[in-house]
Amino acid sequence: MGEIRLFRADEMEDLVETLNTEFHNDFGCVLLIESPLSEKQTSVLGQHPGVICLATGFAWRGRFPSYVLGYVENAGDKNQLLWTLESARRFLDLRHENQQLRFRYQVEGEKLDSILSSALELSEERDPVKLCDKILSNLRRQVRAEGASLYIADLEKNELKFTHVQNERVKVPFQSFTLPIDENSMAGACASRRKSIHVPDVRAIPKSESFKFNDSFDKKVGYTTRSILCIPLLKSKGDLVGVVQLINSKRESTFTEEDIEIGKVLAAPIASSLETALLYKDIENLFEGFVKASVTAIESRDPTTSGHSERVADYSVNLAKVITLSTAKEFAPIHFNEQSLKELRYASLLHDFGKIGVPEAILQKEKKLYPDELESILGRAKLIKLGHPSIAKEIDQFIELVLRFNEPTVTSKDPGSELKKFMDLHYEVLGEDIHLLKQDEMNKLALSKGSLTVDDRRMIESHVEHTYKFLQQIPWTRELKRVAPIAHSHHEKLDGTGYPQGLKGNEIPVESQIMAIADIYDALTAPDRPYKKSVAAAKALEILMEDAVKGKLNRELVRLFIDQKAYLI
């Protein structure tokens, strides 16, 4: 308490004004009152904790309001007054201590909340790069550090990899490097000892320490490192995941005991989050590698379709992104995030994987007849021509027709009509009855569109079921669990004419509806194949719109695909 002033009961008139004008400071003041204060006076008194209010006189009848800290019967008695003042001061000290404790408890409660929310935020981040950034930001915020670096431990190689850096004062050019886990560097020693190292002044590291301060960073970026706090990131069982180095406390000249404690408290959840994120990334890389290997396997079966899966994935993801950005009401319920885009991408990359179960001869069939079937017809024709020279001209005409009809051209007239007359012809050659053209050969040559027979088509269409069976066996993560059903429906049509399930409208997942558009667009525009000419982009978009008008493809999605140029990759 500072200066003490005595107020006597006869000065009560001026109490409020005096308290207001004179005691807006830390000085103490003793107020002697002979009767309780008015409500207004009590409220003014409440604003001045330095005022010791003592009751005096005989008007109190044994009950004192809470602002009265003591009773002095005779204020003129100096000893009595001092003794009462001493007890009042002790009471005030206790009250002050109590308030400080309360304040500290409140601050620590808030700090604890902040530490817990930091730990929670970190545990929810799966992306290692974002996580490293959050780890350093959170730790720097908690201990008020200017800069921080993160090292990830590779225990097999016994080294630390410099992974991330932050500094709010200088721009730090990031360049990764490794440090051995040994006593020769501060971070290495922290990892080796599995203990925090606090260097309050980097220019006064005790000689007994194994490491020295490396000032190359300071020189390079024009910075002055003063203090460093190195914290090992240890999991609950003590396994080392990495090291964090905090640089220059912003609050004090160096880091405090509380900072070190906070670092230790946060180290375990950070280590677990970091390990989980790295593991998650490993699994993702594993999946990515597996998907890429699968795509290579599919496309090596039919090199002419090379790049199809990647392009379908790119078109599909493009379309999904523009759907998410669209403000049109029909797309309002559809939203793709990072995970669902990845799910769509994997489903697209693997949608044709089942082609692995379709014979290569069918996948690569260029003509209506397989090469050995054509050879067989031509061989018989030549044999008949040799045995019956008188009909050589007809046989030549027959051969010319077979070669012509073997081409998978699209025709509106019945291609079988010209060939039909050769169907019943059979000749004896070297004692053997030889048919010029057999029924199944005739059926193949009579195909009016493409090169595939009904059986060939069925075999090719079976790729969807093969894809589904294959993808279903993969233990996809929760975020990717719909890869198999999405891929399963990529040949379904809104009007129910698709395969293999004949689903209709909303029964078809929207991702599969997207993929169907991408698949058809790429099949049309892909570089020339031996059996199929490439179609110009504008024509392909026209065909997509025609399919949409016929009710086969989602009209809104096709329109968005065209309007937002999702086909540009």
**Which residues are at the interface with Fe ion (CB under 5 A)?**
352, 519
Minimum distance from CB of 558 to Fe ion (Å)? 17
Q: E strands along 94-158, which residues?
A: 145-154
- Closer of 241 and 464 to Fe ion (Cβ): 464
Q: Answer for the pair 68, 56: CB distance below 8 angstroms, yes or no.
A: no
DSSP structural state of residue 110: H
Residue number, 48 or 355, with CB nearest to Fe ion = 355
Query: Which residues have a Cβ under 8 Å from the Cβ of 177 and sit 6 or more positions away?
Result: 161, 162
Residue 496: CB minimum distance to Fe ion, A: 18
Could you write out the DSSP letters of every residue in 207-238? TTSS----THHHHHHT-----EEEEEEE-TT-
Query: Tokens for 254?
Result: 């160096």
| Closer of 445 and 520 to Fe ion (Cβ) | 520
Q: Give least dist CB 295 to Fe ion, A.
A: 12
Residue 162: both structure tokens together: 């410099």
Identify which of residues 343 and 519 has a Cβ nearer to Fe ion in the complex.
519
Taking the complex as a whole, the smallest distance from the CB of residue 498 to Fe ion amounts, in Å, to 11
Residue (of 270, 40, 57, 255) closest to 153 by Cα position = 270
Shortest spacing between CB 331 and Fe ion, in angstroms: 24
Half-sphere exposure of 391 (CA within 13 A, CB side): 16
> Least distance (Å) from Fe ion to the CB of residue 487?
9
CA distances from 83 to 31, 205, 216 (A): 15, 54, 66
Minimum CB separation from Fe ion for residue 461, in Å?
8
Helices 257-301 & 78-123 angle (0-180, nearest 10): 10
Q: Is the peptide bond before 475 cis (omega within 30 degrees of 0)?
A: no
- CB closer to Fe ion, 191 vs 514: 514
Q: Judged by CB, which is closer to Fe ion: 352, or 441? A: 352
- Crossing angle between the packed helical segments 39-46 and 15-22, to the nearest 10 degrees: 20
For 26, other C-beta atoms within 10 Å of its C-beta total 10
Tokens of 531: 């059996």
Nearer to Fe ion, 12 or 460 (CB): 460
